[in-house]
Amino acid sequence: MQVFKAFLKVVKKNMFTALVFTFVFILIAVMTANHDDISSFEAVKIKLTVFDEDNSPESRAIVGLLSEKYEMVDTNNNRDDIMDMLYYESVDGVVIIENGYSKKLAAGETEGLFSTYHMHDSYSLVIMEQYLNDYAATVKAYTAAATPLSEAISRTAQDLSAETEVSVETFGAEGNDDYFSYYNFMPYIIISAFMSLLCPVLNIMERKDLRYRTNCSSVRPFAYTMQIFIGCGVVVIALWLIMVGVGGMLYGFAKGKRELLAVLNSFVFVLVATAISVLVASLTSSKNIITLITQAVGLGMSFFCGIFVTQDMLGDSVLAVGKFFPAYWYIKLNDMLRGWKVYDAEKAALCLGIQAAFIAAIVTVTLLIRRMKYNSVKAMA
């Protein structure tokens, strides 16, 4: 086990940087997980300013409704201040009720009633604009049925004031969502941190002088590569235990079946990251190329597989590409565990099995590449 011992000595010299890198990513994951709670819904009141150019009972009615739904900011009806208010974000949006609003509303017109201004797009502003459109359309529907305008406005206000209870179906998930959110971001941590640690260490082990000495020794190429894999495994498992320990201290240690399965899922992905790191280090010794590959793999998996954006929000074409990455199957299983999808034991086993297949395939390719390199060096000698 001479190669294994030498590997650990090299890792020891780089351990401080690795630990700092790991804890930085843990901090990012914790901060993200604390803001990723789907168990509750809270309506947001945006800051709104309304300029009533029509100044009629009909226009004052819609101003009253907006005052109930949003936080109103008074500007003393000075339209010259609109751009300054929007630029300095003292308001989120401005609504202008155009002159002639009441006449157009009575005539059943829905265009040209309002003008809206804002600096940044947001869901809340889109919903506000949709609310104005729905208001005008509902009034038009009532007046088209020969309802007096005042009564149409009253009925519209009553219709649009209906509240909808919002609930999130979690499919019977155990534990709190923060626990699974922590594990949801772990693939990016594992890929980025582990590759940044292992690839430079492996490049040192592959230096020509050390490699030539190994080739002249009695250590066979297969044994050399396997000892490298074992060394990587010891290091990454130690770092993985730190991550699991931090998650346990923050959100509680695994007790239920699904929580234990989340830990197992992360362990399998640790082995995936280890295999990828050894493969990349076998392909190139350039630090710049390794950094590029690390960022491409880490960010690529994060965006295509549902780490940064949930899989339900990704398009079919993106998910079709994501299925060729192991992180897709990690996230697919974690989504079932956290209750975002219906849990199925067979599908859970399939996700773990596909990740294991990725490990076997990557290790096989790595052994072939290292064997070819060994033969080429031996032929040159």
Written as one string, the DSSP assignment of 186-220 is HHHHHHHHHHHHHHHHHHHHT-HHHHHHHHHSS--
pLDDT at 176 (0 to 100): 61
**Domain co-membership, 19 together with 65:** no
**205 and 249 housed in the same domain:** yes
**For range 117-143, the mean pLDDT:** 86
Amino acid (one-letter) located at 129: E
Average pLDDT on 29-54 reads 66
Q: Based on the domain organization, do 8 and 140 belong to the same domain? A: no
Residues 337, 371, single domain; the answer is yes
- What pLDDT is recorded for position 359? 92
Same domain membership, residue 123 and residue 7: no
Looking at 160, 195, 217, the residue that finishes a domain is 160
| Same-domain check for residues 146 and 206 | no
Clarify whether residues 194 and 334 are in a common domain.
Answer: yes
Q: Which of 160, 188, 221 is the last residue of a domain?
A: 160
53 and 202 share a domain? Answer: no
Q: Containing domain of residue 207, as a range?
A: 2-38+173-380
40 vs 103: which has the higher pLDDT: 103
pLDDT at 357 over 90: yes
pLDDT band at 36 (very low <50, low <70, confident <90, very high): very low
Same domain, 58 and 26: no
Residue at 190 is within a domain: yes
**Residues 10 and 205: beta-carbon distance below 8 Å:** yes
Any domain includes 167: no
Number of domains the chain is built from: 2
Residues 11 and 131 reside in one and the same domain: no
**Judgement on whether residues 31 and 62 belong to the same structural domain of the protein:** no
Write down the mean pLDDT value for the chain. Answer: 80
d(CA 137, CA 109): 9
Q: Are residues 152 and 259 in the same domain?
A: no
State the CATH number of the domain containing residue 90: 3.40.1710
Higher pLDDT, 316 or 178: 316
Question: Is position 365 within any domain?
Answer: yes
pLDDT band at 39 (very low <50, low <70, confident <90, very high): very low
Report yes or no on 165 lying in a domain: no
| Whether the Cβ atoms of residue 70 and residue 48 lie closer than 8 Å to each other | yes
Q: Which token pair is 339?
A: 């209750």
Determine the average pLDDT of the residues in 57-67: 89
Q: What is the pLDDT of residue 38?
A: 46
What pLDDT score does 269 carry? 92
Instruction: Report how far residue 70's alpha carbon sits from residue 51's, in angstroms, rounded to the nearest whole number.
Output: 15
Its pTM stands at 0.62
Mean pLDDT, residues 309-326 taken together: 86
Give yes or no for a contact between 98 and 54, defined as CB atoms under 8 angstroms apart: yes
Tokens coding 267: 């362990």
pLDDT in the model for residue 354:
94
In a domain, 88, yes or no: yes
Q: Report yes or no: 157 and 61 within 8 Å, Cβ to Cβ.
A: yes
Asked whether residue 27 is assigned to any structural domain, the reply reads yes
